[in-house]
Amino acid sequence: MTVPSEHQPRTLLVTLTGRDRPGLTAALFATLARHDVDVLDVEQVTVRGRLVLATLLGEPPDEAALRRDLAAVSDDLDVEVEVDAGHGDHRRAAGRVHVTVLGAPLRPGAVSALARTIAAAGANIDRIVRLASYPVTSVELEVSGADPAALKSELAAVAVTEAVDVAVQPSGLIRRAKRLVVMDVDSTLVQGEVIEMLAERAGVLDEVAEVTTRAMRGELDFAESLRSRVRLLAGLPATAIDEVRDAVQLTPGARTLIRTLKRLDYRCAIVSGGFSQITDPLAGELGIDYAAANTLEIADGRLTGELVGPILDRPGKAAALARFAALEGIPLSQTVAVGDGANDLGMIAAAGLGIAFNAKPIVQDAADTAVNVPYLDAVLYLLGISRSDIEAADAADGVVTPAPPLA
Question: SS in 3 state form for 306-324?
Answer: EEECCCCCHHHHHHHHHHH
Q: Which residues contact residue 253 at a Cβ distance below 8 angstroms, ignoring those fewer than 6 apart?
A: 375, 376, 377, 378
3-state secondary structure of 196: helix
pLDDT at 287: 96
Share of the chain above pLDDT 70, in %: 93
The pTM (predicted TM-score) of the whole model is 0.81
- Determine contact, residues 145/94, Cβ cutoff 8 Å: yes
Is the pLDDT at 406 greater than 50, yes or no? no
Instruction: Report the chain's mean pLDDT, rounded to a whole number.
Output: 91
Beta bridge partners of 353: 336
Amino acid in position 317: K
List 20, 165, 184, 344, catalytic entry = 184
**Better-predicted residue by pLDDT, 267 or 397:** 267
pLDDT at 401: 65
- Determine contact, residues 26/101, Cβ cutoff 8 Å: no
pLDDT at 403: 55
Whole-angstrom distance, CA of residue 278 vs CA of residue 344? 19
List 20, 165, 186, 377, catalytic entry = 186
Q: What are phi and psi of 126, to 5 degrees?
A: -90, -30
Domain extent listing, the chain: 8-87, 97-171, 181-393
Considering the domain delimited by 181-393, tell me its CATH architecture.
3-Layer(aba) Sandwich (3.40)
pLDDT at 6: 56
pLDDT at 2: 47
Is the pLDDT at 407 greater than 60, yes or no? no
CATH superfamily label, 97-171: ACT domain (3.30.70.260)
pLDDT at 9: 83
Beta bridge partners of 41: 56
Q: Is 186 a catalytic residue?
A: yes
Fold agreement between 8-87 and 181-393? no
Among 3-17, 219-233, 298-312, the range of highest mean pLDDT: 298-312
pLDDT digits (tens, 9 = 90+) for 318-369: 999 999 999 999 999 999 999 999 999 999 999 999 999 999 899 999 999 9
Q: Is 184 a catalytic residue?
A: yes
Considering the domain delimited by 8-87, tell me its CATH architecture.
2-Layer Sandwich (3.30)
- Determine contact, residues 211/300, Cβ cutoff 8 Å: no
Half-sphere exposure of 45 (CA within 13 A, CB side): 7
pLDDT at 195: 95
pLDDT at 216: 75
pLDDT at 175: 62
